[in-house]
Structure formats: structure tokens, C-alpha cells
Amino acid sequence: MTSKRLTVFASGTGSNFIALHQSVQKGIIPAKITAFITDKPGCSARSYAKEHDITDYVLRPLDFDSYDAYVQKLLTVLEQESPDLILLAGYLKKIPDEVIRRYPKRILNIHPSLLPRYGGKGWYGHKVHHAVIENGDQESGCTIHFVTEVYDDGPIIAQRKVPVFPDDHPDTLAKRVLKEEHTLYTEVVKRLLEQD
């Protein structure tokens, strides 16, 4: 039984969360996902966490008297969970600066483009794939980076490229990129944990 602990944040379907969890279950990632945090109580990623007995937390700034109270609760939860790595898997809220400072080079994000292209606030999901196609890019892909206080601006850990075909639309490109996201995230998390 490994002592490495992972906390995953997600806001939507959680396909990267699911892929990571399946890699944990298969013994590919030498760790356990001990907590799931979301800002969307009805998201399907949370349903998956519940089905697999992963402790889940719904933490939204609007549920607290102040932003500071929200940040303190988030810090308290993370202190309880004591993660070796915090993994963002389609989490659309900005991680508070206080959390980033508390966990330097321990928070990872996956982004559906070859950063620095199509990165920053508001760039996520199909918006990225649409822009790639509109601009006639020949390739796209995904990036895993450390989270810093600026959106999508942290040091890049790894990238994986995919071709963009002339008949692509955002759905077909998204599917191709997502397949690489699932593989790359597992590889990077495994490598980082084994380096510790």
C-alpha cells in the first residue's frame, strides 16, 4: 500500500480524473486519489468520485461569507488531505494564490493546447479547439504545467502534439487531443511521484 496521496480538482465530466483514477487502480500511478474537490456540485466528475468512495468536497466562494473564508476552508481541507500532488483536471476556477504559495511545484494543470498558444483566462475546452481550426494551425495538442499565480503561465512539464486535419471541427480535434491528455497526465504524475 502506497503512502502517496493525490487530490484532484474538476468542474465537469472529469474524463482526466477518471483516466487518472483508472491508472491508480491498475497500479500504473503509485499513489491513491484520496480527495476530489469541485465548484460544481452537480458535475458528473463528482458522481464518479462518490461511486468510487473518494472523499469529495464542494467548495465555492459564493457559499462563504467572504473570499478569505473560502480560501481558509480550502487550505484547511488540503492540510487534512495532505496531498503529495494536486491535480487540476478540467477545473475552471482559478486556484487562490495562497494555495499556490502553500504548495509550490505541487499543483499541476492540463491544458488542451500547446502553451503558450491559446492559454490564459477564458481559454478552455472547445474555445481552444475552435481557435486552432479557425487560425489554420497544422498541429495542436496538450500541455501539463505547474500552476502559478498567472493562468496557464507556469513552467511546462510536458507536451504532446497531434495533427490538425483539413476536415477537422472542434469535436474531432477535441477527441484526438483528449486521448493524448489521458495518456500524458498519467505518465507525468507517475514520473513526478517516482522522482520523490
- Helices and strands per DSSP (H, E), number in the chain: 6, 7
User: Rounded to an integer, what distance in angstroms lies between the CA atom of residue 74 and that of residue 16?
Assistant: 22
Among the options 111, 129, 145, 182, which is catalytic? 111
Whether 111 sits among the annotated catalytic residues: the reply is yes
Q: What is the mean pLDDT of residues 35-63?
A: 96
* Average pLDDT of every residue of the chain: 94
What kind and span of H or E run contains 8? Answer: strand 5-9
Looking at 105-185, which runs of residues are DSSP E strands?
107-111, 139-146, 156-163
User: Rounded to an integer, what distance in angstroms lies between the CA atom of residue 63 and that of residue 49?
Assistant: 21
Max CA separation in the chain (angstroms): 51
* Class of the CATH domain delimited by 5-117+141-159+182-195: alpha beta
Give the tens place of pLDDT for each residue, 133-183. 999 999 999 999 999 998 889 999 999 999 999 999 999 999 999 999 999
Percent of the chain residues past pLDDT 90, beyond the cut = 90
- Whole-number pLDDT of residue 1: 46
Give the tens place of pLDDT for each residue, 131-140. 999 999 999 9
Percent of the chain residues past pLDDT 70, beyond the cut = 98
User: Rounded to an integer, what distance in angstroms lies between the CA atom of residue 78 and that of residue 144?
Assistant: 21
The neighbour count for residue 104, using CB atoms within 10 Å, is 10
Tell me phi and psi for residue 60, to 5 degrees: -130, 135
What is residue 189's three-state secondary structure? helix
Give the tens place of pLDDT for each residue, 91-116. 988 999 999 999 999 999 999 999 99
Q: Which amino acid appears at position 171 of this protein? A: D
